[in-house]
Amino acid sequence: MAHHPVQPLASPARVRWLLALLVFGNVWLAAVGTQRTVYRAGDEIVTITRTKVDPSTATSPVYSYYTYTAPNPQPEVVYYTNAQGQGCSRNPCGVGATCQETAGGRPVCSCPAGYSGNPLVQCRRAECLDHSECRGDQACRNGNCVNPCAGVCGVNANCEVRNHVPVCSCPRGRTGDPFSSCRLQDPEELCRPSPCGSNTQCNVVNGVPTCSCLPGYIGSPLSGCRHECESDGECSSNQYCSQFKCANGCNQCGKGATCARVTNHRAVCECPKGYIGSPFTECRPECFGDRDCPAGRPACIYGICKNPCEGACGVNADCNLRGLTPVCSCPRDMTGDPFISCRPFTKEDLCSPNPCGTNAVCTPGYDRSNQERPVCTCPPGYTGNALSSCVRGECQSDAECADHKACIAYQCVDPCSGQCGVGAQCQAKRHLAVCTCPAGTQGDALVSCRTARNYPVAPQCPDNPCGIEASCRLNSAGIPVCSCPFGYLGDPFKECVRPECVSDGDCTEFQGCRKGKCVDPCIYSCGTNAACSFDSISCSQRFTLPNDSPLVTSYTTMTPCVPR
């Protein structure tokens, strides 16, 4: 068997490594002799030789030493016995071991290939010859598949077997040399030194270092971040480069300005209507008070000088300012709501709104100049001033009154009131006033009765052949002559009927005598919204004639009264 020269170990580190191997796989000698164990360490074969000598026969102290040998593909254990001179004849080796004599006749015991154990005691078939015969998380040591992690890693370190090789590492939250000791880690140490690129910041998130670009920078935080832009050309056409960032192009406009559009990185800025100033610096209101505005736009409304009439009135309406307050009205030949729309007058507009009084009826009519006018009348059975109020009358006919009263203007009144002439006597009969001159007087009882001494007394008719209310006198031939008294009409031989009136005095204060009848003299006389009295035409309290004209008839067309 070949022998190799003994070489010292290269360094103390190698010695520590070899001692570790002894912990895993060395088998201490159970009997006197020399054990030589060969281990594979990477690409090297390390042979560790340990010698044990019986002190009673030793010529020198017990000693142990370690040697480094050249590569050897197969582990080999060789035991030398002290039975020198006896050879192998007495079979000094253990069960399953083989015995060979040296040139000096010294027996050498060894376990055959594929076996392991102490050849002086027993050789057993090995569990493995190399790592490939073990699981991935095991290593082949002295023919056995074992965990190679035992005693390899430092304090608090983790050991993981990768392809039969133990790998030491510090667990999460700890740091240090995993072959020596792992200590608790300061989370911020994960960012010292920073694993991130340039222009970045490192933060520990859930125990993991996280890289991000600094504000205003873009790019990959692992390789490095850069400014978003250096010039406008690096931004989209509706943006511009501001402080190394692409910003909205409209941000170039000043305070209060509006941004019309952005073209080729440049904004088109404008001051709103009514604002003045530089649109790229600041737009301010045109005014802060009415005193800041010109005459044509005298009102300061929300910082803008405006004419208060703009948009205040409806279609076709007129607007006039009273101070700074707009007053809307329809033109004289139009009507409607001046805040909505004005339109030309129609006949139906004469009574809308109704200019008449309570319970009165308004109908379109014409005045004396044939101009269209509203006509106010009290309905049948009502009496009063149709411009103010109509009230239900006391009566509808004479039959509803006492015999000595007459139904005049829907009221039961004494028919004698003001009916007879001066000096005449009046007696109410069958609702009529009978006027006669007293004895000793003569004349027309409806006009005047005078004393008889100045006039001859007319002969009286002995038998009155005349009709009701008729007068009888004898002519020169003594023949009765019948006639209706002054102011009466009819057949004097049948009945003389007094007309409703002879003059305006016979009517109520609100009526006039027209063709023997009391009628409203204002009918067909006044314009729209006008009040009528017997002697003049005037507008009602809330209305006025255009240009304060006193008479509507001065206009060629119907002119209603307009609101004040």
- How far does Cα 367 stand from its chain's mean position? 61
Same domain, 31 and 133: yes
Q: What are phi and psi of 191, to 5 degrees?
A: -100, 10
At 202 the pLDDT is 93
Whether residue 340 has pLDDT greater than 80: yes
Structural domain includes residue 249: no
Structural domain includes residue 39: yes
Look up the pTM and report it.
Answer: 0.27
Identify the band that residue 513 occupies on the pLDDT scale cut at 50, 70 and 90.
Answer: confident
Instruction: Write the single-letter amino acid at 86.
Output: Q
Asked if 29 and 78 count as a contact pair (C-beta separation under 8 A), the reply is no
Whether residue 175 has pLDDT greater than 70: yes
Give the strand pairing for 158-162 and 165-169: antiparallel
Asked if 406 and 396 count as a contact pair (C-beta separation under 8 A), the reply is no
The residue ranking higher by pLDDT, 440 or 291, is 291
Same domain, 211 and 89: no
Asked if 482 and 467 count as a contact pair (C-beta separation under 8 A), the reply is yes
Identify the band that residue 530 occupies on the pLDDT scale cut at 50, 70 and 90.
Answer: low
Range of 448's domain? 402-505
Same domain, 202 and 95: no
Q: Which range has highest mean pLDDT (190-194, 513-517, 560-564)?
A: 190-194
**Domain end residue (candidates: 117, 146, 175):** 146
Residues in the chain: 564
At 396 the pLDDT is 84
At 197 the pLDDT is 92
The residue ranking higher by pLDDT, 444 or 137, is 137
Identify the band that residue 81 occupies on the pLDDT scale cut at 50, 70 and 90.
Answer: low
Helix (H, G, I), strand (E, B) or coil at 506: helix
Structural domain includes residue 252: no
User: 342-387, pLDDT tens digit by residue?
Assistant: 999 888 888 888 899 999 999 988 887 888 888 999 888 888 888 8
Same domain, 97 and 30: yes
User: 480-509, pLDDT tens digit by residue?
Assistant: 878 777 667 778 888 888 777 766 667 777
Instruction: Write the single-letter amino acid at 351.
Output: C
Q: Work out the burial of residue 516: count CB atoms within 10 Å of its CB; fewer than 13 is exposed, 13-18 middle, 19 or more buried.
A: middle
Helix (H, G, I), strand (E, B) or coil at 17: helix
Whether residue 21 has pLDDT greater than 60: no
Structural domain includes residue 526: no
CA atoms within 13 Å, Cβ hemisphere of 282: 3
Identify the band that residue 330 occupies on the pLDDT scale cut at 50, 70 and 90.
Answer: very high
> Which position has the token pair 């608790």?
184
Q: How far is CA 226 from CA 212, 240, 422, 459, in A?
A: 12, 17, 126, 145
Averaged pLDDT for residues 112-126:
84
Same domain, 33 and 135: yes
**Domain end residue (candidates: 473, 505, 537):** 505
DSSP letters along 408-470, please? ETTEEE-TTTTTS-BT-EEEEETTEEEEEPPTTEEEETTTEEEEGGGSPPPPPPSS----BT-
Same domain, 116 and 56: yes
At 532 the pLDDT is 60
Identify the band that residue 523 occupies on the pLDDT scale cut at 50, 70 and 90.
Answer: low
Structural domain includes residue 301: no
At 1 the pLDDT is 37
**Domain end residue (candidates: 227, 243, 276):** 227
Identify the band that residue 460 occupies on the pLDDT scale cut at 50, 70 and 90.
Answer: low
Q: Which of 73, 71, 54, 74 is nearest to 62 (CA)?
A: 54
Identify the band that residue 11 occupies on the pLDDT scale cut at 50, 70 and 90.
Answer: very low
Structural domain includes residue 476: yes
Average pLDDT, the chain: 75
At 507 the pLDDT is 77
The residue ranking higher by pLDDT, 221 or 63, is 221
Structural domain includes residue 52: yes
Asked if 232 and 238 count as a contact pair (C-beta separation under 8 A), the reply is no
Same domain, 28 and 142: yes
At 6 the pLDDT is 30
User: 207-266, pLDDT tens digit by residue?
Assistant: 788 999 998 788 899 999 998 888 999 999 999 999 888 999 999 999 989 999 999 999
Measured CA to CA, the distance from residue 482 to residue 471 in angstroms comes to 6
The residue ranking higher by pLDDT, 335 or 564, is 335
Same domain, 140 and 36: yes
Same domain, 142 and 199: no
Say how many domains are in the chain: 3
Structural domain includes residue 36: yes
Identify the band that residue 531 occupies on the pLDDT scale cut at 50, 70 and 90.
Answer: low
Exposure letters 451-460 (e unless 16+ CB within 10 A, then b) = ebeeeeeeee
What distance separates the 2 farthest-apart alpha carbons in the chain?
225
The residue ranking higher by pLDDT, 241 or 393, is 241
Tokens of 60: 């020198």
Instruction: Write the single-letter amino acid at 375.
Output: V
Question: ∠ at Cα 393 (392, 394), nearest 5°?
Answer: 125
Whether residue 183 has pLDDT greater than 90: no
Averaged pLDDT for residues 321-344:
91
Q: What is the dihedral of CA 54, 57, 60, 63, to 10 degrees?
A: -10
